[in-house]
Structure 1
Amino acid sequence: MSTPLAYWVAVAAGAAITVALGLACRRRPGPWVRWAGRAIAATLAADAIVFVARPMVEGGWSVEDSLPLALCDVALVVAAAACWFPGQALLVELTYFWGLTGTLQAVLTPDLAVGFPHLEFFEFVVGHVGIVVAACYLVVGLRIVPRPGSVTRVFTITVAYAGFLGAFDWLTGANYMFLAAPPRSASLLSVLGPWPWYIVSASGVALVMLVLLDAPFRRSRRLEPPQGPERYGAALSPDVSPGRRTRPG
């Protein structure tokens, strides 16, 4: 099934929101920034609930397809928590790296079997595009810099989770994260070799992408002490001076 035009219109709208929100957070800081983050968090949380509830309501729930175990599903919950609690550095790092690697790849090569205006269409768009919006809001809008060692932390967590999920797929016959079989539609995995070798190739590609995403912050970390989540206070209040670190109450 070809990707409907409505999907790319929705993706374009999400990209416009991402750019506008990032610019607004930087140029017009204030208390509204906190509420923008909580609005993103609430939207992502609602999408996660719909993902779990929809198969139950429609009568199509199954262990193989309906559990929120794919990395994008986990990233959805992590991104919601990070936007609500931007002071939690690990949540921000996971949202940033997962959002701009796996989730962004899913946005560009969607495994979507339905079109507009099916509920699953909205669920997919809001969940995946929303994670990317959250990642950019936290790192670009709030200027929360990933800490030293973030690549190693995120890669280790990702590999450990993939190992757990691979065992789960083997025991249940599921295919979460496409660890048991390739996706139905074309994706980055399509050019990384046959199963199971694409899992190894994808791990290498993921590590390279994490390093590239971390690259813009290396110089700033050398020039000044790591500030991490403390910096978001400057975006929340226009009265905070650049040299003063303030956490919101």
Structure 2
Amino acid sequence: MDLVQDLQKKIFSVSPPTFSALALEVFRYQVEHNILYKRFLQALDINPADITTLEKIPFLPVELFKTHKILTGTMFTDFYFESSGTTDQQKSKHYISDLALYEESIKKCFELFYGDIKDYCFLALLPSYFERKNASLIYMCDKLMKWSAHKNNGFYLNNFYKLTAILKENIRNNQKTILIGVSFALLDFAEKYNMNLNEIIIMETGGMKGRRTELTREELHRELKRSFNTDTIHSEYGMTELLSQAYSKDNGK
């Protein structure tokens, strides 16, 4: 087993007691094999040998994903995920040399919070993402749908009528269901269809994308809970520059 495979195996089997040591091991690997990161530390006059605790590991500024092709090691790739933004904004590009690593991260992160993927039906309201190429959120949802293999899985965009019918069917059948959507799309749906979705996991991914007035998370969740007669709103957290996700099951907490 080579060093990269060994690190990947450790990452996906990490536990709280081993996390700090593994983070330092990954840091040392990045210093040695990522030229841009090494130059970044040199510019800051940081000696890698002085980094002995998790808290001291320097983070590469996220802005560099907008100006540099960041890759570790010698693997070449033209595939990348691109951040959202308006047409006149410079967007981040995260080049991925091993999609299997990202897919394993998707699976492990989801199952850590929610259990077996095959138990769920995934309904997505992600119009601003679906209309773009190279969106990591679309890739993630597409993979979850394929692994789940439920007949009603799908990206429903603005087809609220069909989405409503599927939600009612899943509720009748006691089917575990996740309705995941960007904030403005969930609000649009809520305004047109006030439904009792107390048995559905409603998961927001944040962002109005210029379509609506920005709301705080508390305001967004309050409106969604009122419209869908549910006690909790779940949240998915991720970003183009990372290959991991986090979830909240209780109103952002």
TM-score, normalization by structure 2: 0.21
Determine which structure has the larger strand proportion and give its number: 2
Determine which structure has the larger helix proportion and give its number: 1
**Structure number with higher relative contact order (C-alpha < 8 Å, ≥ 6 residues apart):** 1
- Who wins on radius of gyration, i.e. which is larger? 2
TM-score, normalization by structure 1: 0.22
